[in-house]
A and B are shown apart, each in its own frame.
Chain A
Amino acid sequence: MNIRMKRIALMTAAAALMLWPLGAAAELKPGTVYKIGWASDKSNYLSFVDEPLAKGMEIAIEEINAKGGIAGKVKIELDRRDMKSDPMLGATVVQELIAAGANFIVTTCDTDVSLPGAQMAAKASLPVISSCGADAAGPSQVPGGFGFLNVPGTLTQGAMLAEYAAKKGYKKAFTLKSKSEGYTHTLGVAFEERFRELGGEIVGEAYYTLGDSSYRVTATKMASSDADVIMTNTFPPDTTAFLKDLERLGNTKPIIMVDGNDTPVIFDAGGQLDISAMTTYGGNRTPGSAFETFEKEYRAKFGADPESLQTALGYDLVVSVAAAVEAAGSTEGAAVRDALDNVENVAGATGLISYKNSPIGRGIPKKDYAVVTFDRANRKFVVVEVGFPQKFPPVK
């Protein structure tokens, strides 16, 4: 071996020795902890979704840790801190979580508000997922492919509603949207686009501002229009006010709604629920289903029924992350990112979850939607259809 070869060999050995501790630290070792840091909203307008999500996450974490942790070795720990729905504070909180040793970052239930924090996580090479933010363009705005969603997004949901409306034979729709948020606008736009594709006509479009308490003018226009279905992109408390105003006018046109209404609060919206349907997740709620098992665990832990679907989405999030870490065999950010991209048919509370070859886009899970109606007497959702839209608008 000449001197040059010896030098190369020595340098290779030195580099291997330097890198060995990093690789060892990322391996799944018994007794170690995988820390999920969550820049969550605890005190502002998104807390109504993040709070129930936290409970679902708790159940999944307890369930996994009771079995010894991820791959029976690594316990999961959740570090949840308040970012008050403030994008600037959100990024600061993500930085704190990274400094506190977070391996995976979760942001709040709004892809746009989450973005500064998500970009900061990506800079630190950590995968990041929005708790229930639904903008399909979200992951592509996070550098390095580190961004993920926990739901299939507004485009598919809008298309699902449109296909449901078309199947029901509705030809003319009147939509209610808001430009206050991406969710309350893009979903409605996706509905309109797919509905038109299917031969439908949008006979009217109305706008509201988040938090509006009176919809009398809009409701009057809708009720007196020749639309045969009303599509609303609202969620409580706005939906409650809107449906009450429609009820006062004696509206008889069917109403279709979005998953933001999957909460027991919606049952306070009155008689219009009898002619309403809604898209949500967790279509298989039959005895023995994952959803039912989750609800049982929830009742056992919290002594009450889950207050909204978000609880199940919290469970989904943790089991997806755990599956990715186990598949990666490592806690290293890039490895977990790549593994999460390849997660397929993981059993969540709402059904099977797949990120691999997602038809929507990278980082966006495919989950089946459920269309439900409302059993007001028993305050229960009744699943009438389960599926995924055949076609949906492209991610913009």
Chain B
Amino acid sequence: MAMSQKWWLRALIGSAQILVLVSLLVAAVSLLGSSTDQRILTVFLINLIAAIGLQIYTGTSGIISFGHVGFMALGAYGSALFTADPAIKAMGIPNAPDFILTSAMGFLPAMLIGVGVAAMVAAVIGRVFVRLGGSAAAVATLGFMVMVFTVLSNAEEWTRGAKAFSGIPAYTTMGWCMGAFAVILVIARLLRESDTGLGLRSSRDDAIAAQASGVDVVNSRYVMWVASAACSAVAGALYAHYIGAILPKAFHFELTFLVVTMVIVGGQSITGAIVGTLLITILAEALRRLENGFSLGSFSLSEAPGLTTAVLALLIVFTLTMRPQGLVGRWELDDLTARWLAKRRPAANGTALPFEKDRERNPAA
């Protein structure tokens, strides 16, 4: 019993540490930043939730998914359809069912509908998808993303097809983003530190050994898959209510590339997803500004369109080659803090570090 208290307490303490840091960042930008900086910060928080959503599955199972942007799209359209002004829906999607046309829900219930739809779809396809690994999983999840895109592009009566669906109320604020981030962060850490998460993490390197140790790999993956889809859908709903107009093309390869890059570069932990998102956001912003031209001493560049994409692609190649485990690897912020403190106070009392508890609970980890 004492042991089980430890894992959830660790998850909560770890979440609190991250929350404090992110809150400080939000406070600094809110107080000192321009309106554009605040906008970039909001987009960062939405991407952060998307990256954590993906990391819940990828970080624990070791299987990359290119399909989570599809769940974002379901969350976005699910929420948008039930909140948009009925008068605008009557013009844009006059042939939609009445329960959509007449609905003018608040943000939270509509977001929960979007999340529910994404979770249901994940639950249905998940029984097959979680049995796949490696390139098969990559191709299958990519196929799922393309399927969602195609369905949304063709469901004209519900979505306006390839055209933008507008009139979505601007509910997404910094407060909503921070609230959603806090909830999803805690869920992600609890799932990761739970027996299910720990068992699944142990299967990353050797699934057979993990199964031999009693880990139910398929069912553990299934739980993470559905939870990660639901969290991605929250990011999608926030996206829709921030941008005000959505179209299937917004949830396609570009966004997939961005979210996957954040996760790969950051590492396998929730902290890794956060570091990756922060790094990519800062890098992408800096490069975007350089694309408009700059001079450095005698060197000057008038314009460099495409620089951001090229550098991000190089960063992925560099990470996969030089540090395949990502910048942070499998460590969480609380693990790193504990290691740092342990180094400062060598052999203080001989007690195990928090991450060493993993091995006590599951020797395969």
Q: Which residues of A contact B (CB under 8 A)?
A: 42-44, 47, 81-82, 84, 86-88, 91-92, 95-96, 99, 111-113, 115-116, 119, 135, 137, 140-141, 179-182, 184-186, 396
Contact B243 A99 (CB under 8 A): no
B29 contacts partner chain A, Cβ-Cβ < 8 Å: no
B204 contacts partner chain A, Cβ-Cβ < 8 Å: no
Which of B35, B162, B254, B288 interacts with A181 by CB under 8 Å? B162
Report the bound CA distance from A3 to B247 in whole Å.
Answer: 60
The verdict on A113 contacting B309 (CB below 8 Å), with A99-B34, A179-B153, A180-B153 known, is no
The verdict on A88 contacting B247 (CB below 8 Å), with A95-B36, A141-B166, A181-B162 known, is no
B43 contacts partner chain A, Cβ-Cβ < 8 Å: yes
CB-based A-B contact count at 8 angstroms: 92
> Closest 6 CB pairs between A and B?
A43-B305, A42-B305, A112-B164, A43-B306, A115-B245, A182-B163
Chain B nearest CB from A204 CB (Å) reads 18
Q: Which residues of A contact B330 (CB under 8 A)?
A: none
In the complex, residue of chain A having the shortest beta-carbon distance to the beta carbon of B152: A179
Q: Which residues of B contact A96 (CB under 8 A)?
A: 36
The residue among A43, A47, A99 with the most chain B CB atoms within 10 A of its own CB is: A43
Contact A113 B161 (CB under 8 A): no
Q: Which residues of B contact A141 (CB under 8 A)?
A: 164, 166-167, 245
B 14-37 to A, binary, CB cutoff 8 A, 1 in contact else 0: 000000000000000000001110
Which of B36, B163, B254 interacts with A92 by CB under 8 Å? B36
Contact A92 B43 (CB under 8 A): yes
Report the bound CA distance from A317 to B92 in whole Å.
Answer: 28
Contact B303 A42 (CB under 8 A): yes
Chain A nearest CB from B160 CB (Å) reads 9
The verdict on A99 contacting B36 (CB below 8 Å), with A81-B292, A88-B239, A116-B245 known, is yes
Contact A87 B243 (CB under 8 A): yes
B 186-217 to A, binary, CB cutoff 8 A, 1 in contact else 0: 00000000000000000000000000000000
Which residues of B284-334 have CB atoms within 8 Å of chain A's CB atoms?
Answer: 288, 291-292, 303, 305-306, 308-309
Chain A nearest CB from B143 CB (Å) reads 14
Contact B43 A182 (CB under 8 A): no
Chain A nearest CB from B47 CB (Å) reads 10
B4 contacts partner chain A, Cβ-Cβ < 8 Å: no
B249 contacts partner chain A, Cβ-Cβ < 8 Å: yes
Contact A43 B35 (CB under 8 A): no
Which of B35, B154, B292 interacts with A99 by CB under 8 Å? B35
B 252-291 to A, binary, CB cutoff 8 A, 1 in contact else 0: 0010000000000000000000000000000000001001
B354 contacts partner chain A, Cβ-Cβ < 8 Å: no
